[in-house]
Structure 1
Amino acid sequence: MSEDSRRMEEDDRGPGAAFNVFVLMEDLLDKLKLLNYEEEVLIKNNMKPVSRLYFALQTNPGEQFYMFCTLAAWLINKAGHRIDQPQEYDDPNATISKILSELRAFGVSADFPPSKLKAGYGEQVCYVLDCLAEETLKYIGFTWKRPIYPSEEQDEETVVEDDAELTLNKIEDEIAEDDSDDDEDHFIDLNVLKTQTNKLGSESSKPDEILESKTDAAEWNLEVERVLPHLKVTIRTDNKDWRVHVDQMHQHKDGIDTALKETKGYLDKLHNEISKTLEKVGSREKYINNQLDPLIQEYRAAQAQFSEVKDQYQQVSSRVTEKTRILSEITEDLEKVKQEIEEKGSSMTDGAPLVKIKQALTKLKQETVEMDIRIGVVEHTLLQAKLKEKSNMTRDMHATVIPQ
């Protein structure tokens, strides 16, 4: 698959397709942990644990490919099929073909080239291992169930005591906490008070006759007024009581109202100052605009003139460029002509051909002299042969004449 086709495929799948490999890797790691791969694979083969990004990103292709083959073979064997455990120096193509054939035997389609698995990382590697892990979980009978969340224990409802109900035990506890604040002279023995109340209660539970009060009301009121300032009853507040929350809300509301009044005054003052400052800035801006209006008009006129000059400059520049091109062509033709003239001048002033001609003439003269010598030798030899033949003929003629 080419790079363009792969990009087109990712565009068709959507922008989140690039992150699908991380989701697959997390699901795969959870399934491997369910299958107890730490003890059966890592400890047995002395390997490091697999992280959540191990097969999603490239770290060490050789190590990742070996881990992929080891996990794939272990999952296939655990799912009921048989495959030899791959070794580190096995042929990777043969190992990948075995794994893909076993994957197809489970009924899982693998519509991608086997070379994708040779890298040891990527979406295809995570897909193959995830499918094998899923088949293994089905083989061992594992089923996914909904999570069971623990029920939260509800706090026991606290009984809110009425502020009006004051028992002797509560008064005793609260007064014991405020001992340090009270003077020792005004200390009230609550135990004696309790015993007295118990006695009164026991006596009143079984009255023999109708009780009549013999206490003077004025003296009783005076005694109450004397003792009342020394009776301090502190009621313990419960943080969970709604009344406490209401009081806190009222306190916060009063604090917010108080702070709002002060803050509102400051904000109004700040608003007025900002408004005045904005008015000053606006008036100064108008004054500056009025002062700079002639300069702006001049600037606009200069800018328009500059644009016209710029257009003329561009036109002249285009003409200069054309003339420069023509000049370069003429210069090239001139250089060619100069080069031809130099070549012809060098050939005319060069004496090498003349020297060669002289040498050739000298050689021809020598060869001519040699030929003349050879011709003379041949003529001399021929003359000697003719003279010898002539002397022989004369000798034969004398010999024939003498016998007669």
Structure 2
Amino acid sequence: MSLGQIYGTFNRAMLRVVPNLRAYADPLTNAMVEFYTMSQSRFTVDMQPHYIYSPREMTRWVRGIYEALKPLESLSVEGLVRVWAHEALRLFQDRLVLDEERAWTEENIDTVPGLFEADEFTTLMTQCKEGSQKEGLMLDSSEELYKWFTHQIMRNLHVVFTMNPSSEGLKDRAATSPALFNRCVLNWFGDWSTDALYQVGYEFTNKVDLDKSDYIPPDRVPVVYPDLPMPPTHRQSIVNAFVYVHQTLYQANTSLQKRGGRTMAITPRHYLDFINHYVKLYNEKRQDLEEQQLHLNVGLQKIRETVEQVEELQASLSIKKNELEQKNTLANQKLKQMVHDQQEAEKKKITSQEIQEALKVQTHDIAQKKDIVLNDLSKVEPAVKEAQQ
């Protein structure tokens, strides 16, 4: 029960990397625990001294499945079964000594109890029946069809992996995994040719924007690729430089070896890592520059908008200034007219006052003269009346 709880937790966390497989965590755990328990009971230290089982095998099993699933975005249930079976054979079968012991492991690993639900199992059986019939087999029972299915997995599942022959753990891995030598096909590869290095570098940088129409190569270019065009383009110069740097490592190794220093194995893996690092660094720097350029463009756009707004305000201010000057001129004219009118009114007022004073004097003079005339008439009037009689 404790193994199921512990590794059930591990498997649920592991299957999060492939969301469509989350529902199979419990069936996968039950199958792992059952097979581990069966193997532990079947192979004991009494048979062979190295037949020692511990939960470490379960942990390595989960880790191996996780490493296979980690780079994937999705995987079918059949694919999960293949990975499960492959890791089980690698952990439990490689340690076995006798052929019948290995056969027992293969037979008992064929069944993963509860991995397929009813509908999925029915669909799988239908597909297996169609596939077996194409091979001329007449399989009817579910057991026969499922055995044919697992046999197809074991026959068609091929794993290819590479290891650098350096001192960084290769000896330890070879010692702890003897099946690398007695159950696998080994191919030892040397370095690639200059032409291959150039073509691989060109292919791996094909999606990188390295073309520059205004590129002028330097006067001295260390040409290592014999078919390098002259003058080379910027992309061709970069790829040629990849090959040049990689080949100079051999010279560095030779110098170290002459001085008794420690040398390292140089393999195509280093060359690919070098190119991938360059591409990654190039893309990162390009992205940084694009972000800076975008930031600057946004700032320049804000400045342009501000300049346009200032120009619009200046144009509006110029118009308003002209209008204000016209209004000021008109107001000054009206003010001058008002002052002139006021001055004229003052003059007319003074003239009117003078006329009034003159009228007063004239009226007084007329009154005096009237009194004199009336007085004279009063004196003459009796004589006139006598003359009329």
Relative contact order, CA 8 A, sep 6+: which one is greater? Answer: 1
- TM, length-normalised to structure 2: 0.23
- TM, length-normalised to structure 1: 0.22
Q: Which has the larger radius of gyration?
A: 1
